[in-house]
Amino acid sequence: MTRYYFAPMEGITQYPLRNIHNEMFGSTIAKYYTPFITATHNFHFKKREKRDALFENSPSFAEQKERVVAQIMAGRADTFLWAKDEMKKLGYKEVNLNLGCPAPTVVNRHKGAGLLLDTEYLDGMLSEIFEKTKEAEDDIDISLKCRLGFYDEEEAIDLMKIFAKLPLSELVIHARVREDYYRGEPRIDAFKNAVRIYRESGGTAPICYNGNIFSKDDLGFIEELKEYADSFMLGRGIIENPALSRELSGGQELTNAELKEYLKRLYFAYSDFIPEDRNLIFKMLEHWAFLTKRFENNEKELKAIRKSRSEGEYFAAVNSLFSADGRP
Ligand SMILES: Cc1cc2nc3c(=O)[nH]c(=O)nc-3n(C[C@H](O)[C@H](O)[C@H](O)COP(=O)(O)O)c2cc1C
């Protein structure tokens, strides 16, 4: 069976979503990634990010901690190693270094995709991370999530040679460069080429492909990539359609009843840490922004959801959208 992963998405794939998604659709997801948790220069986590990483908030994973990967944003080996140890104490079996975030505030601090710019520094940082982890006899898995480069896909050649030297547990490649942000078609040929170079350079870690998997129409392209990739990471596509991995695995299509239930449970799970209706609705609107395609004939009802300011207004608007759409 094809292995699908749930991508990390800051502000979206926090513990309420991971937990509820796992309970409703988790049987076709091999791993969930937390959004990045920042390892600050003074060895500190933001309270909100730490809360997200705690397994006590994700009871559906209590017996399956290996299915959640803690993603770390760090620009130095020492802060990464500290964060890795903290995540290990919380019960994580795998941590993942973010080498892909394109946001200027991140890149300017030489983190995320910013690390792809200076390959000499990155090489040194990664070598230190793996050497120290080995010295400490720490068996935690360390994986990377990268892009093909910062400006140009040709940068992948040097990057893959660096990654091939390391005992990575997995290499996730988002088939874009930083300058693409999330736009346009993924660079499939450059992805294949990068994997070829990684293998020719002696890299043995499983490869995960990431980029623009949205529906069953992409199954042909997934098949084609299986020669290169061992697993497939779903990002925006699985926010648009929480049953995407089930559909890709040959299962039933998402029903409106399921989607309605999923969104309702998310709403009440967010109320754990967002007490005010208004702010909670803003949070839900981040999800609704991904759902407009499914409801493209219901602009009036979507607008009412966007304009709602209280729990009552919100649920009345959601109910009228599902009634107007009419699908079961
Ligand atoms: C709103 C948003 C937040 C994201 N946050 C993260 C993150 O915290 N860590 C990360 O590695 N990637 C992050 N990503 C990138 C996704 O994990 C993924 O690589 C990207 O969306 C491409 O996959 P897709 O085409 O399936 O969406 C984010 C993407 C979006 C749109």
Query: Tens digit of pLDDT for each residue in 79-89?
Result: 999 999 999 99
Ligand 1 contact, 203 CB (< 6 A): no
pLDDT at 10 over 90: yes
**What pLDDT does residue 104 have?**
98
What pTM does this model have? Answer: 0.98
Q: Is the CB of 181 under 6 A from ligand 1?
A: no
User: Whole-number mean pLDDT of the chain?
Assistant: 97
pLDDT, tens only, 113-126: 999 999 999 999 99
Ligand 1 atom with least separation from CA of 233: 26
* pLDDT recorded at residue 165: 98
137 class by beta-carbon count within 10 Å (0-12 exposed, 13-18 middle, 19+ buried): exposed
Question: Is the confidence at residue 211, as pLDDT, over 90?
Answer: yes
pLDDT in tens, 12-29: 999 999 999 999 999 999
Nearest ligand 1 atom to alpha carbon 36: 8
Residue nearest to atom 9 of ligand 1 (CA): 8
Secondary structure letter of residue 204 according to DSSP: -
Q: How confident is the model at residue 94 (pLDDT cuts 50, 70, 90)?
A: very high
Residue whose CB lies within 8 A of the most ligand 1 atoms, among 115, 232, 234, 236, for a mutation test? 236
Say what the pLDDT of residue 197 is: 98
- Across the range 157-177, mean pLDDT stands at 98
Q: Provide mean pLDDT across the span 240-250.
A: 98
Q: Is pLDDT at 285 greater than 90 in this prediction?
A: yes
**Ligand 1 pocket residue status of 145, Cβ below 6 Å:** yes
**Would you state the pLDDT for residue 215?**
98
Rounded to an integer, the average pLDDT of 80-105 is 98
Q: How much is the pLDDT for 43? A: 97
Measured in Å, residue 320 CA sits from the centre of ligand 1 at: 31
The proportion of the chain whose per-residue pLDDT surpasses 90, expressed as a percent, equals 99
How far apart are alpha carbons 6 and 236 in whole angstroms? 10
Checking if the pLDDT of 272 tops 90, the result is: no
Per residue in 27-37, pLDDT tens? 999 999 999 99
Q: Is 58 in the pocket of ligand 1 (CB under 6 A)?
A: no
Give the chain's radius of gyration (CA, Å): 20
Ligand 1: residue whose CA is nearest its atom 26: 235
25-52: average pLDDT = 97
Q: What is the reported pLDDT for 19?
A: 98
Collapsing DSSP states into helix, strand and coil, what is residue 23?
Answer: helix
**Nearest residue (CA) to ligand 1, atom 28:** 9
Q: CA–CA separation, 316 vs 296, rounded Å?
A: 19
pLDDT at 317 over 90: yes
Is the Cβ–Cβ distance between 30 and 67 less than 8 Å? Answer: yes
Closest approach atom of ligand 1 to CA 100: 11
Question: What are the tokens at 269?
Answer: 């799970």
What value does the mean pLDDT take over residues 293-299? 94
98 lines ligand 1 (CB under 6 A): yes
pLDDT confidence of 151, banded at 50, 70, 90?
very high
**DSSP codes joined into one string, 105-166:** HHHTTT-GGGGGS-HHHHHHHHHHHHHHHHHTT---EEEEEEEEESS-GGGHHHHHHHHHTS
Closest residue (by CA) to atom 5 of ligand 1?
9
